[in-house]
Amino acid sequence: DTWRYAFEEALDEVQGVFAQKFKEEVEANSDHEVQLFPFGTLGESDNILEQTQSGILQFVNQSPGFTGALIPEAQVFLVPYLLPEDEQQLYSFFRDSEAINGIFPELYAEQGLELLTMYPEGEVMVTSNRPIAAPADFDDVKVRVMTNPLLVSSYQAFGATPTPLPWGEVYGGLQTGIIDGHENPAFFIESTRTFEVQEHITRLGHNNFTTALMANKDFFDGLSEEDQQLIRNATDAAFEHILEYQQGLTEASLEAIEAAKPSITVTTLSEEERAPFRATTEQVEATFLEIGGPRAQEVLDQMKADLEAAGS
Ligand code: 6CS
């Protein structure tokens, strides 16, 4: 039989590389076939999640940046300066987190989804046409964000004018000036060519892009134990593969951007410059507790305990 798997990126982007490894593992170890649907083939991110909830698709990769509208607790991944910059700490958090392995599967299950894993895609950076070194520089700058209320609050706290949009509208929006900037990992800024219509890239160090692989829960529950294990093994293999794949990816992507567009500036803010952005964390956390659903406090506390255990 054929299992249908949709994701939010192209085949050669991080989610696509993950998906290809998953497919390879499933097909090497069983008679199942995995059919991959990259971004755009079945609609936007929200469409593919709905198609998975309804059982048209068996697997979907969707980021909390979008899922947060459905599962408010998932917005915790958009609290700025919560995840560590240090890669080893970050990876050990994603491997062992009790929030990810214990609490979130229950929350996703309530929406008919089996959460298989969450993984990081890379440091998030801001692109703009104006140099950004302080919150005042964000004044009147319309920064496109994923359709996530907490991300809106976070960019408001940064001093910007956040504009939530689905991905498909971003390049055109930047071109026509409907939006002035956006945030994404370097590989994505490079592969989707948004740098072509932007002048500056700023590294605030405020987040790493989190994403998640899920299955339709009825489908997953109906599988034999052997097939469930096959899926878990394929997920683990893809998880390890994608962390390895990301070694050096951010720097290589920035180099490619600078080579393609020498006029672009890439600026890493100093700790001093980051301080006023970092100072918004408390306020955004308070907003998360208000709008992050019934288990927001539990999720935030567990995340912090997990991060401490991961050494950050
Ligand atoms: O900004 C976005 O909407 C997209 N960013 C990434 C890195 N992956 C998929 C998502 O749609």
* Prediction ipTM score: 0.99
Please state, in angstroms and rounded to a whole number, the distance separating the CA atoms of residues 288 and 274. Answer: 21
Of 146, 198, 250, the one to substitute when testing ligand 1's pocket (max ligand atoms within 8 A of C-beta) is 146
**Per-residue model confidence (pLDDT) at position 312:** 63
**Per-residue model confidence (pLDDT) at position 69:** 87
**Which atom of ligand 1 approaches the CA of 166 most closely?**
3
Say what angle helices 281-291 and 149-158 make with each other, to 10 degrees: 160
Q: How far is the CA of 39 from the centre of ligand 1 (A)?
A: 10
Nearest alpha carbon to residue 83 among 69, 71, 67, 99: 99
Pocket lined around ligand 1, Cβ cut-off 6 Å? 8-9, 45, 63, 121, 146, 167, 184-185, 188, 209
What is the full per-residue pLDDT of the chain (312 aa) written as tens digits? 999 999 999 999 999 999 999 999 999 999 999 999 999 999 999 999 999 999 999 999 999 999 998 999 999 999 999 999 999 999 999 999 999 999 999 999 999 999 999 999 999 999 999 999 999 999 999 999 999 999 999 999 999 999 999 999 999 999 999 999 999 999 999 999 999 999 999 999 999 999 999 999 999 999 999 999 999 999 999 999 999 999 999 999 999 999 999 999 999 999 999 999 999 999 999 999 999 999 999 999 999 999 999 996
- Contact indicator for 145, 164 with CB cutoff of 8 Å: yes
Please state, in angstroms and rounded to a whole number, the distance separating the CA atoms of residues 289 and 111. Answer: 21
- Give me the DSSP letters along 141-162: -EEEE-S-HHHHHHHHHHT-EE
Q: How far is the CA of 174 from the centre of ligand 1 (A)?
A: 15
Closest-CA residue, ligand 1 atom 9, reads 8
**Per-residue model confidence (pLDDT) at position 81:** 98
Q: How far is the CA of 184 from the centre of ligand 1 (A)?
A: 7
